[in-house]
Chains A and B, each alone.
Chain A
Amino acid sequence: DGGITQSPKYLFRKEGQNVTLSCEQNLNHDAMYWYRQDPGQGLRLIYYSQIVNDFQKGDIAEGYSVSREKKESFPLTVTSAQKNPTAFYLCASNTQGGKLFFGSGTQLSVL
Chain B
Amino acid sequence: AQSVTQLDSHVSVSEGTPVLLRCNYSSSYSPSLFWYVQHPNKGLQLLLKYTSAATLVKGINGFEAEFKKSETSFHLTKPSAHMSDAAEYFCVVSGGTSYGKLTFGQGTILTVHP
Identify the A interface with B (CB < 8 A).
31, 33, 35, 40-45, 48, 50, 56, 58-59, 90, 96-97, 99-100, 102, 104-105
CB-CB under 8 A for A104 and B43, given A40-B9, A42-B90, A97-B94:
yes
Among A41, A59, A100, point to the contact of B36 (Cβ < 8 A): A100
> Interface residue count for B (Cβ, 8 Å)?
22
What residues of A have a CB within 8 angstroms of the CB of B36 in the complex? 100
Tell whether B17 is near chain A: CB-to-CB under 8 Å: no
CB-CB under 8 A for A58 and B101, given A97-B51, A99-B49, A104-B43:
yes
What residue of chain B has the Cβ atom nearest to residue A105's Cβ?
B43
> 1/0 per position for B74-114, CB-CB distance to A under 8 A?
00000000000000001000100011111111110000000
What residue of chain A has the Cβ atom nearest to residue B88's Cβ?
A42
CB-CB under 8 A for A56 and B98, given A41-B106, A44-B104, A99-B34:
yes
Contact, CB under 8 Å: B104 / A43: yes
CA distance A68 to B105 in the complex (A): 26
Contact, CB under 8 Å: B46 / A100: yes
What 6 pairs between A and B have smallest CB-CB spacing? A43-B104, A42-B106, A99-B46, A42-B107, A50-B100, A42-B104
Tell whether B27 is near chain A: CB-to-CB under 8 Å: no
Task: Determine how close the nearest CB of chain B comes to the CB of A28; give it in whole angstroms.
Answer: 16
What residue of chain A has the Cβ atom nearest to residue B108's Cβ?
A42
CA distance A105 to B42 in the complex (A): 10
What residues of B have a CB within 8 angstroms of the CB of A43 in the complex? 90, 104
What residues of A have a CB within 8 angstroms of the CB of B107 in the complex? 40-42
Contact, CB under 8 Å: B102 / A100: yes
